[in-house]
Amino acid sequence: MRDYLLFYVNGREHKVTGEHVFLPLSSYLRYVVGATGTKVVCEEGDCGACSILLGEVQGDDITYRTVNSCIQMLYQVDGLHIITIEGLKDQGRLNPVQDAMVACHGAQCGYCTPGFVVAMCGLFDGKQPACIKEIKDALTGNLCRCTGYVSIIESGLEVATENIKSLRELYPSEPIRKELTAATSQEVELSAGNKRVYIPLTVEQAVRFKAANSSAIIISGGTDVCVNMNKRDYDPAIMMSFCRLEGQRDIVLDEAGKTLLVGGTATLTKLEEFARDNVPELHHLLWLFGSPQIRNAGTLSGNIANASPIADTPPFLFIMDAELELTGSGGTRRVCITKFYTGYKQFDLKSDEIITRILIPLPVATDLVKLYKVSKRKHLDISSFTAALRISLEGNTIAKAAVCYGGVGPVILRMYRTEEFLQGKPFSIETFSKAGEVAIAEITPISDVRGSKEFRNQLARNILLKFFHETRQSRREPACLP
């Protein structure tokens, strides 16, 4: 059992104990390391000014991903290599990304600039030029208040990628990899004041700790709970970080190729990569879900366990009748996600259980599937309303319907009455119009800062019509008018 954190910052080893263990990574970098190029603005993972590159041992190499350091607690980076803006210089000179930002006037006040540079260095680590869309996608999580984005995107197009040194050239993997590999073979437990954190290696260790510490807060990706720590005075005493839980990061298909098995700590980025060719609707939703920095850290199990009635991924899981594999002291059991939530922020999870896998039956080729997220901003925003619909047809008759809404009550809601109404009806605009009235009677939305009750009621109607028009067009069949 190790009683200190071990990680690298810009190629230098750090061993940390005491109160610093419980700092946000951004605070440690700025106030302890002195790496003040990492800027802090929002402290909730929205602006990207604090972006850094996290390197993790993968086989014989170290792979890097861009994350927001403001919502990564220091204990989450145990066994990792952190590269800040200061660590991207090339023998004391600006690197090609920085040269392009200067040449194209990509900075004004400069406060957001380090985050943009870090995100672009992550994008160009493979030394391949990028198109405008790729640059925009990579910079979704980086906000600029004064320059505007045209000059920044032009900078990305002008980067001399042939002159870029990869992160592995700047920091040869072997010496760092050897130390990190040795460190990550050990459990970690640390305390300071009234705070305590445990980092298990196995599910068995995690379950044992949870059984002995039922109040322990699980930190998976930390993209939500760390915001609460920064902004809402949330101060848990006992934490368990899943940053190194073995065998939980994989996403694979079962032997039949019909069910997706998602590990409990698999990132949303990995899920997005799988969905690109297999479930395009889910891929698009994850693209909207959050920035690359958020998707690189956040997990599907964390989005589920957060139990928000406006969470973006559960509606898809609801219409697919996904199952959660829950592991505790008594073994493993499965619960259909439609029965998992028992009330607002409440669920069928015993005090010693953790989510170890999500089993998702995949849509078949004949299914009509659509996922919807309604928010004030297109990217990086909390939803006002979410929806997922799956329709199976026999000819022009609806043989089976699955409908799920979020943001219309205290929990994400499977719309069973609406489904019952749709089943057996003709696939027509009249059917979906009438289904909207059934849906209104099935929901209990409230008015809040993201939308009024009336707005959500109207969305409940409109989303069914939107689904009809979009899927009718994709089927290339004429409308079945009343």
Instruction: Give the pLDDT score at 209.
Output: 97
Among 278, 255, 262, CA closest to 323: 262
Residues 282 and 224 in one domain: no
Q: Is the same domain home to 31 and 125?
A: no
pLDDT of residue 288: 87
C-beta separation of 268 from 295 below 8 A: yes
Q: Which residue has the tokens 């990086």?
A: 380
Cα 277 to Cα 454: distance, rounded to the nearest angstrom = 37
Which residues touch 5 (CB under 8 Å, ≥6 apart)? Answer: 14, 15, 16, 17, 21, 74, 75, 77, 78, 188, 190
Question: Would you state the pLDDT for residue 480?
Answer: 40
Final residue belonging to a domain, choices 116, 147, 164:
164
Chain centroid offset of residue 460 CA: 26
Same domain for 101 and 229, yes or no, is: no
Domain CATH code at residue 191:
3.10.20.30
**Same domain, residue pair 82 and 99:** no
Q: How many domains does the chain have?
A: 4
pTM, two decimals, is: 0.93
DSSP 116-184: HHHHHHHHGGG-----HHHHHHHTTT---SSS-SHHHHHHHHH--GGGPPPHHHHS-HHHHHHHHHHHT
Tell me if 255 is assigned to some domain: yes
* CATH code assigned at 96: 1.10.150.120
Q: Which of 148, 123, 145, 139 is nearest to 380 (CA)?
A: 139
In a domain, 480, yes or no: no
Residues 343 and 372 in one domain: no
Q: Which domain holds residue 39?
A: 5-87+169-241
Q: Is residue 14 in some structural domain? A: yes
In a domain, 246, yes or no: no
Q: Is 194 among the domain residues?
A: yes
- Are 112 and 51 part of one and the same domain? no
Among 140, 164, 188, the domain-final residue is 164
Task: Indicate whether 324 and 256 sit together in one domain.
Answer: yes
Residue 181 and residue 76 share a domain: yes
pLDDT in tens, the chain (482 residues): 999 999 999 999 999 999 999 999 999 999 999 999 999 999 999 999 999 999 999 988 999 999 999 999 999 999 999 999 999 998 889 999 999 999 999 998 999 999 999 999 999 998 999 999 999 999 999 999 887 899 999 999 999 999 999 999 999 998 899 999 998 899 999 999 999 999 999 999 999 999 999 999 999 999 999 999 999 889 999 999 999 998 899 999 999 999 999 999 999 999 999 999 899 999 999 988 889 999 999 999 999 999 999 999 999 999 999 999 999 999 999 999 999 999 999 999 999 999 999 999 999 989 999 999 999 887 778 899 999 999 999 999 999 999 999 999 999 999 999 999 999 999 999 999 999 999 999 999 999 999 999 999 999 999 999 999 999 876 654 444 33
Shared-domain flag, residues 113 and 219: no
* 180, 150: one domain: no
Say if residue 48 is in the same domain as residue 195. Answer: yes
482 found inside a domain: no
Output the pLDDT for position 395: 93
Residues 219 and 262 in one domain: no
Which pLDDT belongs to residue 475? 62
Distance from chain centroid for Cα 445: 26
What is the domain-level CATH number for residue 325?
A: 3.30.465.10
481 located within any domain:
no
Q: Within a domain: residue 419?
A: yes
Domain closes at, from 196, 218, 241: 241
Of 353, 200, 328, 354, residue with least CA distance to 264: 354
